[in-house]
Structure 1
Amino acid sequence: MLENKFPHVRPTYLPYGRQWIEEEDIAAVIKVLRSDYLTTGPKIEEFEQEVAQYVDTKYAVAFSNGTAALHGACFAAGISDGDEVITTPMTFAASVNCVLYQGGKPVFADIDTRTYNIDPKKIEGKITNKTKAIIPVDFTGQPVELDHILKIAKKHHLVVIEDAAHALGATYKGNKVGSISDLTMFSFHPVKHITSGEGGMITTNNKEYYENLLQFRSHGITRDKDKLKGNHGPWYYEMQFLGYNYRMTDIQAALGTSQLKKLNKFIELRRKYVQMYNEAFQHIDEIVTPFQHEDGDSSWHLYIIRLNLDKLTASRMEIFDALQQQNIGVNVHYIPVHYQPYYQNLGYKKGICPHAEKLFEGMITLPLFPSMSEKDVHSVIEAIKRTIGYYRK
């Protein structure tokens, strides 16, 4: 039994990710609950302005969640029936589903085996006369090679929608992620860098995108006098296209604004714990630690190790189970999107992205979040060393 193999079990379960809510966050939410506005009030704009200022961009539009924000970005980019959008299979399904919502067709390009991000060299070979956009994903918090991707996009007149759900606070060549691509999405799910419960944000420097996003998140309705076809009084509004109710609430925005004040501290702690992991695992041949691209400064949403399974007597599942039974809440991010039954039914086949598929076979996500303690990090390191040692060939 595993209990006999690994008797040194943590007394409590350590999840792979967790929010860090403090008294000032709770107070910010309570203040809104006692105010006149619970939704569509002043806190939304405040949060948007704070995020735009943080990432150094002109505009930010808040959404109810990151998936809704991606949908909005696809709409703003003009993606419609039959348009092709190139993206990575190594991501959560939302990065790809947003294309289907607009009637588009996702096209998968394989990953770079070092960074695990989409490989720019694979993108160009996927471009056709139907290609409308590229959705690169800053996987684990490491920025994609934006210079190369933006150069390809400019050459072929494509829109770049950067999925930076993992990368709030990351930089690429000294510039904050969120200020570089045509449209950038951030997520505020509880395991992300900051949380608003659920929530998402699109940042952009394009005024037309900004205005379309504002209208899209609220049923396609506008009260802007300059846009109205008619005007029958101060109560008058128009639904000018099919939008959605994707609005964030003031409750969410209050929490997000409070959390944003602590973002730099949170990222500093993540980077500290990553360094502890790297130093502990650097000489273990059975493990490949994450690569850090010299042009990007990761904000480290996830810490993923890749197992050299040919050097172990156990499968990934056995390693995973052994760590779970030691109360180490490991996870796997992600199952390649084209493996999902829905995408298989659409005609996507296994084998189309061999590098991503190979990575998936041996990857494990270790716990990483700012409210961990150094003692927690050491307990993960010790469990990894015990488990690898036991199953070493």
Structure 2
Amino acid sequence: MIPIFKVFMPDMVSDYISDLLYSGKLSYGEYTKEFERRLSSFIGNERVLAISGNSILFALKLIDIKPNDEVIVSPMSCLMTTQPIVYSGAKVVWADIDPLTGSLDPDDVKNKITNKTRAIIHYHWSGNPGYIDEINSIAHKNNIPVIEDATESFGAEYKGKKIGNTDTDIVCYSFTPVRLPNAIDGAGLSLNCEKLYQKSILMRDLGVNRSKFRDKMGEISADCDIDIVGDSATLNNISGYVGSSQMPFVFDLIEKQRKNALLWEDFFKNLPCTKVVSKREGVNPSYWAFTILSERRDELLNSFRNQGVYASKIHLRNDLYSIFGPPSHPLRGVDEFSKRQLNLPCGWWMDENDFNRIVRDV
């Protein structure tokens, strides 16, 4: 079975792990810092940090989301994207999507803004960036921060710039096993504002300013005040080492996924009742998976599975879960997209021989 997701790990990554485990240098340290430097260089933004835990939840705390605040988000998202809203005590406001791209519909986002709206979470479906300029423009006019969820779209580009360097307030990543890069666990943020970046550094470390925290004797200094509520969310050095070791490979792996996407596009070019998810002008997806839209979705899913290709719907629309309260108002774009979307393996582990077999058998 060709898997839809697979864990990447460089061949030599284990060579130093044992030494590191017994070095005593397990908490946030030199390798986590190196991982952050490499992330910053790749993304093109100096304001990047790695954290443990859920980056969306961290971002909501960072912008002081409070109970009864409203956060706009698409129901066609991962639960890692939407559950933090409920966990923070805020109210989820579902917005519709463009049924051809799976991305937030700017017009519906505009209609869902109220005087209680405190954030917009912009989820990029399966590595395909959405209406970045349009959503950001609406948000800025209303003085609302935008949190982009790039969990599935690390390395994707918009107008020649990497996601995380396109003037969005906060961009969130995940470094869990099936992501590129993966650090076994953890997450990251890329920020557009220096003040918010400096706040995030303090907030991930219990509000502690490490440059002032200890005196000359190494004791905790009474002169270092803690004036911000924080979390113990620094990324450990083991994860930093694993993540850093992957960064030299990420560009080539994503380029291979883009080449695989071209093969899929050619495969589906003449298939009746099926189309490839639209790519907007200026968008260069990273193809965490390859999404198609088909009136024969379930038939195709079974056909691919029977031939050893793990096709999947990946996400169930989140507004069906009772944790979010009563069903949302009709969302025509979500209705259409959720009934037709199907995702296929497009990762670095696939090659042309796989596609030749798929063409022959499916």
TM-score (norm. length: structure 1): 0.84
Extract unaligned runs of 5+ from structure 2. Answer: none
Point out 4+ residue stretches in structure 1 off by more than 6 angstroms. Answer: 230-233
Aligned to 2:349: 371
- Which of 259, 267, 274 aligns to 1:287? It is 274
1:171-204 deviation digits (Å, cap 9, x = unpaired): 1112221012111111122222221112210011
Aligned to 1:347: 326
Structure 1 residue 61 and structure 2 residue 49: aligned?
yes
Give the letter aligned to residue 14 of structure 1: I
For the residues of structure 2 that align with 1:243 and 1:283, how far apart are their CA atoms?
A: 54
Extract unaligned runs of 5+ from structure 1. Answer: 1-12, 310-315, 387-393
- Bigger mean CA deviation after superposition, 270-279 or 132-141: 132-141
Q: Give the match's secondary structure for 1:193.
A: coil
Structure 1 residue 196 and structure 2 residue 183: aligned?
yes
For the residues of structure 2 that align with 1:84 and 1:379, how far apart are their CA atoms?
A: 49
Asked if structure 2 preserves the Cα contact closer than 8 Å seen for 1:49 and 1:59, the reply is no
1:217-236 deviation digits (Å, cap 9, x = unpaired): 234444453x99x9998324
Give the letter aligned to residue 288 of structure 2: H
Aligned to 1:313: none
User: What are the residue-to-residue correspondences of 1:130-169 with 2, within 5 Å?
Assistant: 130-169=116-155
Asked if structure 1 preserves the Cα contact closer than 8 Å seen for 2:97 and 2:104, the reply is yes
| CA pair 380-341 structure 1, distance change in 2 beyond 3 A | farther
Q: Give the match's secondary structure for 2:123.
A: coil
Note the C-alpha offset of 1:248: 1.6
Aligned to 1:175: 161
RMSD of aligned C-alpha atoms? 2.4
Structure 1 residue 325 and structure 2 residue 306: aligned?
yes
For the residues of structure 1 that align with 2:98 and 2:174, how far apart are their CA atoms?
A: 24
Give the letter aligned to residue 353 of structure 1: L
Asked if structure 2 preserves the Cα contact closer than 8 Å seen for 1:19 and 1:194, the reply is no
Q: Give the match's secondary structure for 1:209.
A: helix
Note the C-alpha offset of 1:22: 2.5
Aligned to 1:258: 245
| CA pair 381-26 structure 1, distance change in 2 beyond 3 A | farther
For the residues of structure 1 that align with 2:358 and 2:70, how far apart are their CA atoms?
A: 42
Asked if structure 1 preserves the Cα contact closer than 8 Å seen for 2:155 and 2:162, the reply is yes
For the residues of structure 2 that align with 1:382 and 1:288, how far apart are their CA atoms?
A: 20
Q: Give the match's secondary structure for 1:261.
A: helix
Give the letter aligned to residue 12 of structure 2: E
Note the C-alpha offset of 1:265: 0.3
- Which of 10, 24, 28 aligns to 1:22? It is 10
Asked if structure 2 preserves the Cα contact closer than 8 Å seen for 1:285 and 1:308, the reply is no
For the residues of structure 1 that align with 2:301 and 2:42, how far apart are their CA atoms?
A: 38
Q: Give the match's secondary structure for 2:201.
A: helix
Note the C-alpha offset of 1:31: 5.0
Aligned to 2:171: 184
Q: Give the match's secondary structure for 2:12.
A: helix
1:265-287 deviation digits (Å, cap 9, x = unpaired): 00110011000010111111132
Asked if structure 2 preserves the Cα contact closer than 8 Å seen for 1:189 and 1:196, the reply is yes
Structure 1 residue 361 and structure 2 residue 348: aligned?
no
Note the C-alpha offset of 1:357: 2.2
Q: Give the fraction of aligned pairs with identical amino acids, expressed as a percent.
A: 25
| CA pair 110-28 structure 1, distance change in 2 beyond 3 A | farther
| CA pair 206-369 structure 1, distance change in 2 beyond 3 A | same
For the residues of structure 2 that align with 1:131 and 1:356, how far apart are their CA atoms?
A: 21
Structure 1 residue 297 and structure 2 residue 276: aligned?
no
Give the letter aligned to residue 141 of structure 1: G
Aligned to 2:60: 74
For the residues of structure 2 that align with 1:164 and 1:101, how far apart are their CA atoms?
A: 20
Give the letter aligned to residue 347 of structure 1: P
| CA pair 39-267 structure 1, distance change in 2 beyond 3 A | same
For the residues of structure 2 that align with 1:217 and 1:123, how far apart are their CA atoms?
A: 30
TM-score (norm. length: structure 2): 0.91
Aligned to 1:5: none
Aligned to 2:102: 116
| CA pair 270-30 structure 1, distance change in 2 beyond 3 A | farther
- Which of 10, 35, 42 aligns to 2:23? It is 35
- Which of 248, 258, 280 aligns to 2:235? It is 248
1:117-174 deviation digits (Å, cap 9, x = unpaired): 1111111101111111111111111112211111111110010111111111111112
For the residues of structure 2 that align with 1:322 and 1:303, how far apart are their CA atoms?
A: 16
Give the letter aligned to residue 45 of structure 2: T
For the residues of structure 1 that align with 2:136 and 2:234, how far apart are their CA atoms?
A: 30
Q: Give the match's secondary structure for 2:118.
A: strand
For the residues of structure 1 that align with 2:353 and 2:18, how far apart are their CA atoms?
A: 33
| CA pair 326-32 structure 1, distance change in 2 beyond 3 A | same
Asked if structure 2 preserves the Cα contact closer than 8 Å seen for 1:164 and 1:177, the reply is yes
For the residues of structure 2 that align with 1:239 and 1:348, how far apart are their CA atoms?
A: 42
Structure 1 residue 234 and structure 2 residue 219: aligned?
yes
Give the letter aligned to residue 74 of structure 1: L
Asked if structure 2 preserves the Cα contact closer than 8 Å seen for 1:63 and 1:200, the reply is yes
- Bigger mean CA deviation after superposition, 17-26 or 41-50: 17-26
Note the C-alpha offset of 1:92: 0.3
How many residues are matched? 359
